[in-house]
Amino acid sequence: MDFYALKAKTINGKEFPFEELKGKVVIIVNTASKCGFTPQFEGLEKLYQKYKNQGLEILGFPCNQFGSQDPGSEEEIEEFCQVNYGVSFQMFAKVEVNGKNAHPVFKFLKKEKGSLLGSSIKWNFTKFLVNPEGQVEERYAPTSTPEKMEDKIKDLLLEATAS
């Protein structure tokens, strides 16, 4: 499977083809509104604001599979993210990231970058960093803050502009 062949529904119900991400550095993260890691929205938004004009995209996928920490509707989730964290990066419709109903995006990401505990995602705010060629570069645990990704993001953005 090719990263750019993937697609997903935005939080507003529009189809988003990943081919629009060609040449960009992409962070994909499964999010939750009522999680101890929820404040990571702030760090993700700071990264987005700092690097979006250089080619960084962030895709947030709400997920209610871990402790039922995102039970709200898409509208409630979107409002929560904007009001509390000023999220302006692209949020998507709620998905499952594990199990037989896992969204194809997460099936792809887990296949490309498993973790020490296998391929399944263990909790909210697992982050995947995709390079401008559509390859999964890194997988970050929920405990890794967005700020820990910054050096790798800068390197990938530099490589993208150099080529």
Contact at 8 Å (CB) between 25 and 149?
no
* Residue with tokens 């979107």, as numbered in its chain: 78
Active site residue 35: yes
**Which CATH number belongs to the domain containing residue 119 in this structure?**
3.40.30.10
pLDDT (0 to 100) of residue 141: 92
Q: What is the mean pLDDT of each run of 10 residues along the chain (163 residues)?
A: 93 96 96 93 96 96 94 90 92 95 94 75 95 94 95 91 72
pLDDT (0 to 100) of residue 49: 97
Q: Read off the tokens for 18.
A: 């990943």
pLDDT (0 to 100) of residue 159: 84
pLDDT (0 to 100) of residue 11: 93
pLDDT (0 to 100) of residue 117: 59
Catalytic residue among 8, 32, 35, 136: 35
The burial class, CB within 10 Å (0-12 / 13-18 / 19+), for 133 is middle
Domain of 49 in residue numbering reads as 3-162
Q: Which of 85, 141, 120 has the alpha carbon at shortest distance from 149? A: 141
How many domains does one find in the chain? 1
Using DSSP bridges, classify how beta strands 56-62 and 25-31 pair: parallel, antiparallel or unpaired: parallel
